Amino acid sequence: MTEKILTRNFGRADSHTLAVYRETGGYKALDKAAAMQPAAIVEEVKKSNLRGLGGAGFPTGMKWSFIPRGHTGPVYLVVNADEGEPGTFKDRYLLERDPHALIEGMIITARAIRSALGFVYIRGEYVEPWRRFSTAVREAYEAGYLGRGFDIVVHRGAGAYICGEETGLISSLEGLKGWPKLKPPFPAIKGAFGAPTIVNNVETLAHVPHIVNRGAEWFASLGTKTQGGTRIYSVSGRVKRPGIYETSVGITLRQLIYDEAGGVAGNGRLKAVVPGGSSAALLSADEIDVTMDVDGLKNVDSMIGSAGVIVFDETVSIPDALVVVARFYAHESCGQCTPCRESTGWIYKMARRIAEGHGRKEDLDTILDVAKRGAGTTICAFYDGAVGPYISYIEKFRGEFEALIPRA
């Protein structure tokens, strides 16, 4: 069993307080980081193979290195705490149970990217996590960790999944609708309020103090060849013990379901698994011997995404599940670009019609064709995320859909 790093304090009483955080070694990495040149911190994080844990899995150190050299104006550090990917709930735990880990990670990251101001964008529905984290920020100010060259503004969202997309988040932080921005320019060049900006996920930054404390090699050794460390898997659906599980990113999906989460609930027979939040392509029961790192899931044409695992037992109707998923993407499409705005609604209508027994035999191919044609044509990754389930649900369980379509 892997050592718990991010969740090591979750079981302790008052784990969210500064006192407990300090008692368990918290804020020790600050001194070490203070003695390092910013470039050396970036280098260390690069070597650690830490990859973004919000969804895209981009190498974190490399992202930091995109801030233009010699830039003298403000640089912003933005933390994406707009957790919203269906099936994911790890950042809620981090904000509620170990908020100081994020604050310490932010302070070190700010040094690495030479930022004096950080924003933490917390989804609007997360009222309790917002209060907990806000209290921790206050404690950190009072203890002098913040306010000396680095400040944190805690920002509440207002209900929009798209604000979890990093440029949608930036738009929202700027007081706009959460419409993602055209790239180029990328946020590291021109991000929040027009300044170079690094957007990182909560969990990603919570790892940073540990990497500084214990070294890149240690962190890298915890994971796979291309991704270091542990991560927190959110497991829900038809498992016996739904919850969060911190393990090496080298764990397989089978181990996660059966060894960690206690196996399949419901009728006990596995039908399919959403491996990385609802935007990840569905895996069938025979596809679960994959490592739960970025590359492991890529190899089976899915993605690790936010590591939100939703387990379907054999009693689950895939067509019904597709209606739920399609409704979600239709509801959350921001409406900015045409392929996504128009086809998420259309596909939802078709999926619902099929599930209600009014499907036509060409509908399934229409959904597949529309999804494939729209993929890769939009401003942000939202639509590609919708396409993952549209295609995989139908292609892997086509018979189940066809059985619902009345014969002419």
CB-nearer residue toward other proteins: 81 or 208: 81
Q: Would you call 73 exposed, middle or buried from its count of C-beta atoms within 10 A (0-12, 13-18, 19+)?
A: exposed
Distance from C-alpha of 53 to C-alpha of 49, rounded to nearest angstrom: 12
Write down the least CB distance from residue 326 to other proteins, Å: 11
Angle between helices 90-97 and 202-214 (to 10 degrees): 60
Minimum distance, C-beta of residue 244 to other proteins, in the bound complex (Å): 7
202-214 helix and 99-113 helix, angle to the nearest 10 degrees? 70
Nearer to other proteins, 219 or 348 (CB): 348
As a whole number of angstroms, the distance between CA 130 and CA 27 comes to 21
- Phi and psi of 199, rounded to 5°? -110, 120
Write the DSSP string, 162-208: GGGSHHHHHHHHTTS--PPPPSSSPTTTS-GGGS-EEEEEHHHHHHH
Question: Which C-beta is closer to other proteins: that of 259 or that of 320?
Answer: 320
Minimum CB separation from other proteins for residue 213, in Å?
Answer: 26
Compute, in degrees rounded to 10, the torsion defined by CA atoms 148, 94, 283, 320: -120
In angstroms, what is the minimal distance from the CB of 47 to other proteins? 29
CA distances from 327 to 266, 289, 323 (A): 24, 30, 6
Give the pair of three-digit tokens for residue 46: 């690069």
Closer to other proteins by CB, 137 or 394: give it: 137
To other proteins, the closest distance from the beta carbon of 303 in angstroms equals 16
The residue among 210 and 352 lying less far from other proteins, judged by its C-beta, is 352
Minimum CB separation of residue 134 from other proteins in Å reads 3
Closer to other proteins by CB, 106 or 220: give it: 106
Contact 302, 276 (CB under 8 A): yes
Least distance to other proteins from the beta carbon of 352, Å? 9
User: Half-sphere exposure (CA, 13 Å, Cβ side) for 197?
Assistant: 24
CA-to-CA dists, residue 18 to 32, 35, 173, angstroms: 19, 23, 27
